[in-house]
Amino acid sequence: MRMKILLAVDGSIDMQATIALLRMMRFPSGSVVYLLHVVHLEEERAMEEPEPPSPHPAADLPEKGSPSEKESLWQQALQQQGKAFLAHVMRELKRLNIETRPVLRVGIPGAEILRMIDECQIDLVMVGTRKHSKLERFWLGSVSEWILNEAGCSVLLVRSKRRRRRGAPFHVLLAVDGSPDAWAAVEFTKSLVFPQRSRVTILHVIKKWLHQTSHGLSTWDVAGEEFSRQAERAFGLRGKHAHELLNRTLHAFGDGEQTVEMSLILGHEAEEIVKAAKLLLPDLVVVGSKGLTGLRRILLGSVSSRVARHAPCSVLVVRRRAS
């Protein structure tokens, strides 16, 4: 099934990471990438220096003319520079075997991204987190946080990370809990084709009670029937059911080229997923959206939003579209 992908680009470091990740992924045949750049006039105007921030070099304003004429020419210059920037990104993506359509809009970036998601029935939006400080690491950045909370499609938050070791397999950490959202994440992950020799780690977290100590079990250490026996011995009936879930997920991937591993941990879900991401250093964490909205999301948060905020790598939050 063809997929519609929206790639929001702004000239930041995370944009380069987004393009690099896009190059490593392969989407279903017939898919199309919409390359969106938004010129934010108010942000440009608020700059103290006459030159707007990257990717827009300073617009040459005429010395004469009315304020409205200068404003009109300034906006036209910014839009021309935006088009030149999109053309530059298009050249970077030329090697991709996928249809790419550049789109330039003027407005507030978050609002324009959400509007385009609805207008084009986007399946996946890719945005950078633009994180620099500890505070921004928590809040992600206003645009990416806005998109994560409000987009009606799956969201891939891209973080620039350490330089990948040459020849290292692409590594996906897939968190599952047996919910419809998690199965949607499994199906979405299957629809993507990652580089050869990719590695997928399927992670399930058994909820820890207050008196229990976090610990885990992985097929890196034990496999086959021994994994099943140790899961049941360590976690009881919950361990047996968890192993059955991991096995169903494993079989869902079939006999692909990727290496698939299973990991079972006792703990708090969001915390353990983030811990696993810091330990395993995957290229991508995939989680299903829990669908919290409004006041519940503000007060309680959700596993997916906490993972998106605190994971050290890119995070794909898979959201089922409303039928």
pLDDT of 287 reads: 95
The widest CA-to-CA distance across the chain, in whole angstroms, is 82
Name the residue among 233, 250, 243 with its Cα closest to residue 206. Answer: 243
SS3 content of the chain, % helix, strand, coil (to 5): 45, 20, 35
pLDDT of 141 reads: 57
pLDDT of 52 reads: 47
Name the residue among 88, 97, 122 with its Cα closest to residue 16. Answer: 88
pLDDT of 69 reads: 80
- 3-class secondary structure, 40: coil
Q: What is the DSSP letter of 82?
A: H
pLDDT of 292 reads: 47
pLDDT of 112 reads: 94
pLDDT of 118 reads: 95
Q: Is the pTM of this model over 0.85?
A: no
pLDDT of 273 reads: 95
pLDDT of 46 reads: 60
Q: Round to whole Å and give the CA distance between 293 and 304.
A: 12
Enumerate residue ranges in the chain where pLDDT < 50: 48-53, 131-140, 292, 295-296, 298-300
Q: Round to whole Å and give the CA distance between 40 and 54.
A: 12
- 3-class secondary structure, 286: strand
Q: Please enumerate in sequence order all residues whose Cβ is within 8 A of that of 48, keeping only pairs 6 or more positions apart, or say none.
A: none
Beta carbons of 128 and 89 less than 8 angstroms apart? no
Domains and CATH numbers, the chain: 4-158 (3.40.50.620), 171-318 (3.40.50.620)
pLDDT of 133 reads: 42
pLDDT of 98 reads: 86
